[in-house]
Amino acid sequence: MSSDRRPIAAANWKMNLLRRDAADYCRALRSGFVGRRPAAEVLLFPPATLLTTVAGGIDGLADVACGGQDLHPEAGGAHTGDLSAPQLADAGCTWVLCGHSERRQDHGESDELVARKALAAVGHGLTPLICVGETADERRAGRTFEVLGRQLAAAVSALEGRFELAYEPVWAIGTGKTASPQQAQDVHAHIRGKLAGLDEAVAAKVQILYGGSVKGSNAAELLAMEDIDGGLIGGASLDANDFLAICRAGNA
């Protein structure tokens, strides 16, 4: 851990779970944290249909927050199917994912669009968690650092440090493959160095989460690395007990 802050455990539910599941999940978190402060700062990113359920379910629960999985850069207008930053805030969100690899791949989101979304989030009081990372083809071609540099430059130039980061090795998401803790640390250290080259103050305060198949069995070892400040968890976050195990791994 490179930051004085506690690690962040961020659950990205993607397109999973229903209202009953979400309510049960929030009750399990309350039970799991009863009488003690979570070891990690806990973030839940449910589908849009579950935002109000989750925001209500965690209301009053210290160190647990709700975020949106995406947003439109405009505050309103004729954008069918999209959500704006004011709407996310109104639903109880304080965070939002920007540029998740699945948005970049499935919807062709550019670095410039991701930066616009993150800027819109900040402008309406939301903290953007900006996702960066290389695909398997980019990794095989030796372009990991080139891709990360391009993605980071767009975010840093627009936001002046008002964000957090998640490194997603796209080749490890949902594949069961995981970078070794040292491999993940090496990339995180590069990201922090790249940030320092762009803005030293930003590099010192931004937390960098690892988002490549984090689970209870590897979370503690990953979080022990100097530049890994938490995890963005997908499949392993869908079960509340599994997610609680990851939250407890960041025992600070």
89 assigned to some structural domain: yes
- Give the three-state DSSP class for 229: coil
Tens digits of per-residue pLDDT, 235-248? 999 999 999 999 98
What DSSP designation does 6 have? Answer: P
What phi, psi does 130 have (nearest 5°)? -90, 125
CATH number for the domain that contains residue 148: 3.20.20.70
Domain hosting residue 164, numbered range: 8-249
Does residue 3 lie within any of the structural domains?
no
Is 68 part of any domain?
Answer: yes
Give the per-residue pLDDT at 159: 75
- Domain presence at residue 180: yes
Give tens-digit pLDDT for 120-167.
999 999 999 999 999 888 988 999 999 999 998 887 776 766 899 999
Gap between the Cα atoms of 110 and 30, Å rounded? 38
Q: Which amino acid is at 238?
A: L
Determine, yes or no, domain membership for 201.
yes
Does 133 map to a domain? Answer: yes
> How long is the chain?
252
How much is the pLDDT for 43? 98
- In whole angstroms, give the CA distance from residue 142 to residue 119: 30
pLDDT of residue 252: 38
Number of domains in the chain: 1
Is 1 within the bounds of a domain?
no
| C-beta separation of 50 from 238 below 8 A | no
For 244, the token pair is 């609680």
Task: Report the C-alpha gap between 117 and 85 in whole angstroms.
Answer: 9
* Residue bearing the bigger pLDDT, 105 or 178: 105
Q: Is the pTM of this model over 0.85?
A: yes
Strand-pairing partners, residue 233, are 11
More confident residue, 102 or 213: 102
The SS3 assignment for 40 reads coil
Give the chain's mean pLDDT: 91
Beta strands in the chain, from DSSP E residues, in sequence order: 8-12, 41-45, 64-68, 95-98, 127-132, 164-167, 208-210, 230-233
User: Which runs of consecutive H residues, i.e. helices, occur in 108-143?
Assistant: 111-123, 136-140
Instruction: Answer whether residue 229 is part of any domain.
Output: yes
Residues recognised as catalytic: 100, 168
